[in-house]
Amino acid sequence: MGSIADTTTLANGVKMPWLGLGVFKVADGPQVENCVRWALEIGYRHIDTAAIYGNERGVGRAVRDSGIPREQIFITTKVWNDAVRAGRDAVLRAFDQSLQKLGLDYVDLYLIHWPVKEKCLEAWEAVQQIYLQRRARAIGVSNFLVHHLDDLRRHSGTTPMVDQVEFHPRVLQRDLIAYCRQHGIQLESWAPLMQGEIFKIPLINELAGKYGKTAAQIALRWLIQHQVVAIPKSVHRERIAENAAIFDFELSEEDMTRIDALDRNQRVGTHPDHFDF
């Protein structure tokens, strides 16, 4: 059943923890610093931020102040759409800014945040350059569907190592699972708890009672058993700890199938083909 220290191995051999802390909409300064500090104290070794979140400074400060060797913590950040639209040099500058705010020499994973139409190939060239310079240990994308990934692979000849997407019991994306497994791309879930909507699903609550766990723990365990990395967000220490307590039980094959059947292609975020920001 494993532990919070368990990792998946990316296509280039880099090890990425299955569970991380997401900090979307967490305020920079004391709030994000406390969240990251608590997570690291609990045993998390994976923190996910982004340029647009506006809290890279606080994340970096908490990581540096933790006393944990840098190489033991997996840090992800992402390039926002304005830089992608502006082109290759803007992406390189955006990465420099993220590193400076984080106060780090490198990140473990750098992602293109959204599939900006007709601009991703140029942005991907910049991201590959960052990787070749060893300033990012792994590179990938976020919110890319099968056709976005296929286009990137065909025109660049390079496969992203990670695709971070909306993925939870209401959005299973079976075609994306199959494609990523075929091409060695690690799937990662943002909004794994459906921004709180998971607690309204009767089956998830029923299974929480059956296994003596919370609804959040059932949803996160389901993701891990699907071999999808999860980065739940919380600003409460007890919830951060609760989200990590998913390695002492296993969902049965029958219950996994029942959760799979909840798929309605029902998103809590924007569809990647319809975003405009």
* Dihedral over Cα of 247, 216, 139, 100: its sign: negative
Q: What pTM was computed for the model?
A: 0.97
Q: Which of 53, 110, 131, 179 is catalytic?
A: 53
Q: Which pLDDT score, from 0 to 100, does residue 1 have?
A: 66
Domain residue spans in the chain?
7-196+227-234
Round to the nearest angstrom and report the end-to-end CA distance of the chain: 40
Topology classification of domain 7-196+227-234: TIM Barrel (3.20.20)
pLDDT at 65 over 70: yes
Q: How confident is the model at residue 2 (pLDDT cuts 50, 70, 90)?
A: confident
Quick check: is 211 catalytic?
A: no
Mean pLDDT across 16-22: 98
Q: Which pLDDT score, from 0 to 100, does residue 277 have?
A: 87
**How large is the angle between the packed helices 30-42 and 237-244, nearest 10 degrees?**
40
Instruction: Single out the residue of 167, 145, 166, 169 nearest to residue 263, CA to CA.
Output: 169
pLDDT at 24 over 90: yes
Phi, psi of 79 (to 5 degrees): -90, 130
Q: Which pLDDT score, from 0 to 100, does residue 49 have?
A: 98
